Structure 1
Amino acid sequence: MTIGSPTDFSGRLTINGAELVVEAFGPEDAPAMIVHHGAPGLGSRSEPRRSFGPFADRFRVIVFDARGSGESSDDEPFTHEQWVADVDAIRAHFGYERIVMAGGSYGGFIALEYAIAHPERVAALVLRDTAADTAHDHLAVERAKTTDRTVIPQWAIDRIGTGRFESNDQIREYWKAILPLYDHQHDPAKDAARLAATRFHYRTHNAAFGQNMPKYDLKPKLPTITCPTLVTVGRHDWRTPVAASQVIADLIPDARLVVFEHSGHSPQLEEPELFQRTVRDFLDSAGIR
């Protein structure tokens, strides 16, 4: 069954008091996969839909705009606890007892938090270019300072990972400035398209990086994750480097780490065929079919 079948769902759901835009596609009786996007206040369901849409041949794939992002409502709080609760409410709405939980970048933070909070609900965990703490954030600042792709203004460098924005216009200029860092093979046209497609919610971004991240450290809890776990990362990721993924793989029992040699922050888009094959092989080995 493919995207566009009669079992597809696309609409607004009231989830824990917020109006979230949710999409589900693939066979309803297939194993469920919920995918959380990254970049609170900047990201949306469009990337997970593109990256994990092909899995709808074998899975019920559910993507959504988190509260405070994309087309969903700006109902606070913008906390990890609330975003985790929203994932669980979406799971319950569609009637699945267990799910494959997937997330990239900041979405990986929420995927990890969900697996820790609801171990009985997670059949497998798929992570992409994420981290268990903020120990490697300084490397992103150094990469921004030394890149030869573009000149990033100092005011933008000073705001990396800080959550200090005063308006949607300001965070738009910031996003425009740092976009050249994300892909291994830089394509200015792709950056322009990504910028044009972004909906900005600066208050969400401020809460995520100004309030949530200073206290973020999941390392002590990672050994409690017992479900099969795949950790993927681009070799040239400027934001969450390979070392950050290595920490996760080392601390989660029997986790599998796969490094994509020709990718930056988005191997699911830069090496899509290899990424999809890697995830499929992992889920097959975990017995999830």
Structure 2
Amino acid sequence: MSGNEVSPEFARATTDAQWVEINGNHLAVEVLGPEGAPVIITHHGAPGLGSRAEPRASFGRLADEYRVVVFDARGSGQSEGNGTFSHEQWAADIDALREWIGAETIAIAGGSYGGFMAMEYALRYPQRVAAVVLRDTSPDNENADAARKNALATDRVVIDMEKFDRIDYGRVRDDEDLKDCWREILPLYDFVYDPEAVERKVEATPYRYQAHNYAFSVNMPAYDIKPQLPSLAAPMLITVGRTDWITPVSCSETIAELVPNSELVVFERSGHSPQIEEADAWTRTVREFLHRVYPSAAR
């Protein structure tokens, strides 16, 4: 499968996208919510594994009063994968989407690797950012050491560390290998381990190994935005699950310490996905934050 192809199963399952040409790639984009409402652009996590499905489910809850833009980043989901998968390029794609939707300023949101991109965008295009919403993310690559220790220490499953290394270092061989490695680490993500739910996630994931490998072999070794974070002026909400194994609470605490106008909320009965595991509380927290710093017309 080439960098531009997606699985037929995923293509059949996601038919609501419009195809928007952004910086030489057709991206799968969905726009939710009323015209004229303040715009939220959300970036999914896990390049080559993630898609717009997760932010559509979580931030789509805010589409009663906000204009929510969800999309598959270049190289992920249904979108084309031409060119580079650098943070600079992904941030430029976000800004081109902002121009396409016609918003002078936006709230930028993202979880996990999408949180990396939300912060990268806010740093590269500060004049365009009215608010930032983060979930379970990190300001540098130090989370990788913590994740490895947590994987080795877990009593939930026995992790094949050869597969762990391939996915962690961006060395997977093809889409099937990425799927196999993803299945290996998925049991670590949730607050409550459900093997059947893990297998459903494995089968529902769109696999694009080129973007994943680039992100983790090229982008991540040099990723450290801590020195720039104190310059952020936009209000920021940082959310994280208490038992997150891959971007632990300490990572979010570091962001909160560095960003002047930030607030941190820890969800006590969540792993890496409080937007799912404590959906009502998480949604209420995000909505109340946005009402204060980025109010909708309904307010």
Fold agreement, TM-score > 0.5 = yes
Deviation at 1:288, TM superposition (A): 2.1
Does 1:248 find its partner at 2:255? yes
Segments of 4+ in structure 1 off by > 3 A? none
Q: 1:205 aligns with which of 193, 209, 212?
A: 212
Structure-1-length-normalised TM-score: 0.95
Q: Do the aligned residues in 2 keep the contact of 1:45 with 1:70 (CA within 8 Å)? A: yes
Supply the AA of the counterpart residue of 1:12. Answer: W
* 3-state SS of 2:108 partner: strand
Distance 1:169 1:253 in 2: 43
90, 101, 105: which one pairs with 1:98?
105
Deviation (angstroms), 1:160: 4.8
Q: Percent identity?
A: 53
Q: What corresponds to 2:12 in structure 1? A: none
Q: d(CA) in 2 for partners of 1:243 and 1:269?
A: 21
* TM-score normalised by L of structure 2: 0.92
Choose 98-107 or 144-153, whichever is displaced more: 144-153
**1:234 aligns to 2:278 (yes or no):** no
Q: What amino acid is aligned across from residue 139 of structure 1 in structure 2?
A: A
Deviation at 1:187, TM superposition (A): 1.4
Look up the match of 1:86. 93
- Pick one of 219, 222, 225 that aligns with 2:226: 219
Return the letter of the residue paired with 1:191.
V
Unaligned runs of 5+ in 1: 1-8
User: One-letter code of the match for 1:269?
Assistant: I
1:287: Cα distance to partner? 4.3
Q: CA deviation at 1:254?
A: 2.3
Task: From 264, 287, 292, give the equivalent of 1:280.
Answer: 287
1:1-289 to 2 correspondences below 5 Å: 10-289=17-296
Q: Which amino acid aligns with 1:29?
A: G
Give, in whole Å, the separation in 1 of the partners of 2:279 and 2:166. Answer: 31
Name the SS of the counterpart of 2:168 in structure 1: coil
Residues 20 and 26 in structure 2, CA contact (< 8 A), matched pair in contact too = yes
Deviation at 1:158, TM superposition (A): 2.3
SS of 2:36's partner is coil
Kept in 2, the 8 Å contact 1:68–1:76? The answer is no
| Greater mean deviation of Cα atoms: 35-44 or 132-141 | 132-141
Task: Supply the RMSD in Å over aligned alpha carbons.
Answer: 1.0
> Could you tell me how far apart the structure 2 residues matched to 1:91 and 1:136 are?
30
